[in-house]
Amino acid sequence: MMAQYLALRGEAGDCLLFYRMGDFFELFFDDARQASQILDIALTTRGEHLGQPIPMCGVPVHSAESYLARLIKAGCRVAIAEQVETPAEAKQRGGSKALVARDIVRFVTAGTLTEEALLEPRRANVLAAVCEMRGLVGIAACDISTGRMELEECAPDRLGAALARLGASEIVAPEGWEAMPEGAIARPARGFASDSGEARLKAIHGVATLDGFGLFTRTMLAAAGGLVAYLEHVGRGSLPLLLPPEARAGNAALAMDAATRASLEILEAAQGGRKGSLIDAIDRCVTGAGARQLAEDLSAPLTGAHAIAERLELVAWLHEDGLLRESLRAALRALPDLGRALGRVVAGRGSPRDLGQLRDGLAGARALHDRLGGRGDLPLLLARLLPALAGHGALVDRYDRALVPAPPTERGQGGFIAEGYDAALDELRRIAGNARRAIAALEAKYRDQTGVATLKIKHNNVLGYFVEVPARHADKLMAPDSGFSHRQTMAGAMRFNALALHAEASRITEAGAHALAAEDAHFEELVTMAIAARQAIAQTAAALARIDVAAGQAERAAEGGWARPEIRDEPCLAIEGGRHPVVEAALAAAGERFVANDCRLAPEDRLWLIGGPNMGGKSTFLRQNALIVLLAQAGGFVPAQAATIGLVDRLFSRVGASDNLARGRSTFMVEMVETAAILSQATERSFVILDEVGRGTSTYDGLALAWAVAEAVHETNRCRCLFATHYHELARLAETCEALSLHHVRAREWKGDLVLLHELADGPADRSYGLAVARLAGVPAKVIARARAVLEKLEKGRAQTGGLAAGLGDLPLFAAAFEAREEACDGLRERLRGLDLDALSPREALDMLYELKREAGTDP
């Protein structure tokens, strides 16, 4: 056995090997050590190898999926070695000591999952293959759980942005490629050939040319070849559902790099996870497929005005009719996940339950078609989607007749084919049912014949049917003329066989086996029908998802009072009463109100320089406008009173501070890399938000960089830009940059406290309120007082030849007298702040003055 295991272990490569032994998948050696730690299961030993005990752990076959999910989440890949023959077949092949043959039937990896228990219902699971050819990069991406596949081509410096958009669970690339993406799996380079990629796609879809699917470059086809070769490898020659590939144009979607996506927290919050992200705040889809489509829409907003208008028209139609929207959402909520059920069926991992989901989903789609088809006011997009919801009548009717109302998840036990579908199957079931009744009658007969009231007829997988009596009654059945033959002695019981029982058992076994075989044949027939209609079923699933997205967008708009944006093909941005959807939702949960703000950018006023204190709302204002652009171009309503959006080709966000120590980059280096990308890639049709450029270095360097960046954005990129800064000196740019205007977030100091108004106003900020914000944050009063003294010196020294730091040399740094004086002043301020003057009587006020005079060291 160990020789067989080691041979399979060699085939498994860098994967953990699940080695089937009876009802368990066992792991040995280092696989066992690693898996036992991840799964928190016992590590034992079995036998020896080279004189050392062999580490071992195992998981039950019936619950293996839950363990696989944890291993995949931990970054592992798993090879499944199954028994490919029965013990009886092994014995017939090689005698009583023959080892049951095993083989790796499948590799389970993060990007090739189809099982319902291993996938997140509301998130796509993308596998991507990338390669380089003639200075361009080809990308092939698919979600094999639904079969969707797309191919694209980009410049090498755009690969990171493309992969960030896809959010792939797994990436494969040719071995030896110097520009291989981080974390990618190296595969043989021969698989990434354009001619083999083209041939594979033609063979999969049974066509002589791919022209009917789109125009694909050789680089795209090379990536497709690598993708299909990897799928053949992990499926051991069996391919999952792959729909005809779609060619993706590089300019069809609003471009965003990885830094922008992370900054805007589109699909994942900064701290990780969905909670706190944009999609978490706006997702009102009632199906998993709809949620996945919404995520794709937000990841790749459109750049075509006509396509955006079609989506907005459908959202508006559903927004206006609340009763229709609610009934439509109720119908969608009841539907199963058609796309993923189809994916499992085509991949050979389907169950009777999956066939039932296809039946129910297609029937529900047809009902929606009948409900909506009679209306004369359908939006153009919905009118195009409706035909995909019908046309499955024959398949639905066949499945309806063939399957029981609630098919089981396992096909091995039968019971999923409906009565009346197959007369021969019904007869086999009748025979098996009658035989079981005959067993019960035979048990009663044997009790009367032997006089043993406790006699029972039992069954197990080893002996089959047998008669069992307590040991004290065994003598009655041991007699030569009793008609019984001894089979097994147990503690306190004995087991026997009988001719009549053997005959009935044979009838049951034969009828049951034939019935299971008949059901299995019907299952394969029904699967074949689904595979033949896979493209049409996938189109139905896609149409249902698109309708769910539109209805969910309309529901979210109705909840929050969102507005339909007006899309224009000119570089403008006019937002009235704009709000940040995530921050607004968080404030609403806390019972607080979000302060809305306007934003108006035009060719003559395209760069806003925004000052004001930290915590005043600058970053929120910047992000909310970027998100409004993104939501509008994704085809949804926006959190604003009104919005006019000039189409944006690229969206950039350089907001917040972070480092990347793993790649040797400090916070300031990350900031400069992101800023460099903006300056080199932003066009006149782009929208850029910049926050505190230059703050990670010295004051003079930072000010100089911020100044130069603002000038470059204004003069060279000439894009729409919101530029937040603490450098008051930048206000002078308004004198030379005619398209730059000054704005600030308002704040006031009231009775010594800072009040942040979160309102945007015209003009420069009067000051930064840094010390007031520090006090709000809880910085000790002694430190605040010291900072105030330093600030006074800095402001005096600014006008002197000594520069910004002039005058600091004579500050009494850490002087005891200074500290004592400041501490006394702080105490006095706190006492005065705590006085309620209106509540003091004249006598109490006079006494308080005497007391303060004594504390000051002056005689009263």
As assigned by CATH, the class of the 561-760 domain is alpha beta
Residue-wise burial string across 19-50, b where 16 or more C-beta atoms lie within 10 A, e elsewhere:
bbbeebbbbbbebbebbbeebeeeeeebeeee
As a whole number of angstroms, the distance between CA 361 and CA 638 comes to 32
As a whole number of angstroms, the distance between CA 85 and CA 103 comes to 10
Please write the tens of the pLDDT for every residue from 404-462.
Answer: 999 999 888 889 999 999 999 998 888 777 777 878 888 898 999 899 999 999 888 77
Give the CATH number of domain 423-513.
Answer: 1.10.1420.10
Please write the tens of the pLDDT for every residue from 243-264.
Answer: 999 999 878 899 999 999 999 9
pTM of the predicted protein model: 0.85
Contact 49, 6 (CB under 8 A): no
The mean per-residue pLDDT over the stretch 137-163 comes to 95
What architecture does CATH give domain 283-392+533-558? Answer: Orthogonal Bundle (1.10)
Please write the tens of the pLDDT for every residue from 667-713.
Answer: 778 888 889 999 999 999 999 999 988 777 767 788 888 899 999 99
Give the CATH number of domain 2-108.
Answer: 3.40.1170.10
Please write the tens of the pLDDT for every residue from 190-222.
Answer: 999 999 999 999 999 999 999 999 999 999 999
Q: What is the DSSP string of 783-806?
A: HHHHHHHHHHHHHHHTTSTT-TTT
As a whole number of angstroms, the distance between CA 252 and CA 297 comes to 12
Choose the weakest-confidence range: 143-157, 453-467, 616-630, 652-666: 652-666
Residue-wise burial string across 165-193, b where 16 or more C-beta atoms lie within 10 A, e elsewhere:
bbbbbbbbbbeebeebbeebbebeeebbb
Q: Which amino acid is at 215?
A: L
Q: In terms of CATH, what superfamily is 116-250? A: MutS, connector domain (3.30.420.110)
Say what the pLDDT of residue 26 is: 94
As a whole number of angstroms, the distance between CA 445 and CA 441 comes to 6
As a whole number of angstroms, the distance between CA 400 and CA 376 comes to 31
Distance of CA 73 to CAs 67, 265, 271, 272, 560, Å?
10, 22, 18, 14, 36
834 — pLDDT class (breaks 50, 70, 90):
confident
Say what the pLDDT of residue 550 is: 98
Burial of 819 (0-12, 13-18, 19+ CB in 10 A): middle
The mean per-residue pLDDT over the stretch 656-675 comes to 68
CB within 8 Å of 609: residues ≥ 6 apart = 710, 723, 725, 730, 731, 733, 734, 740, 741, 742, 743, 764
Q: What is the DSSP string of 213-272?
A: T----HHHHHHHHHHHHHHHHHTTT-----PPPEEE-TTSB-B--HHHHHHHTSSS-TTS
As a whole number of angstroms, the distance between CA 179 and CA 478 comes to 81
845 — pLDDT class (breaks 50, 70, 90):
confident
Burial of 859 (0-12, 13-18, 19+ CB in 10 A): exposed
- pLDDT of 513 > 90? The answer is no
Q: Which residue ranges make up each domain of the chain?
A: 2-108, 116-250, 283-392+533-558, 423-513, 561-760, 780-854
Q: Which residue has the tokens 């690229």?
A: 650
- Residue with the bigger pLDDT between 152 and 465: it is 152
- pLDDT of 49 > 90? The answer is no
- Report residue 673 as tokens: 């890399």
826 — pLDDT class (breaks 50, 70, 90):
low
- pLDDT of 815 > 60? The answer is no
The mean per-residue pLDDT over the stretch 786-797 comes to 73
As a whole number of angstroms, the distance between CA 111 and CA 106 comes to 13
Say what the pLDDT of residue 624 is: 97
Half-sphere exposure for 749 (CA within 13 Å, toward CB) = 13
Domains 116-250 and 561-760 share a fold: no
860 — pLDDT class (breaks 50, 70, 90):
very low
Query: Long-range contacts made by residues 491-494, C-beta under 8 angstroms, separation at least 24?
Result: 493/468, 493/469, 494/468, 494/469
814 — pLDDT class (breaks 50, 70, 90):
very low
Contact 761, 621 (CB under 8 A): no
- pLDDT of 809 > 50? The answer is no
Say what the pLDDT of residue 575 is: 98
Say what the pLDDT of residue 658 is: 55
Contact 644, 311 (CB under 8 A): no
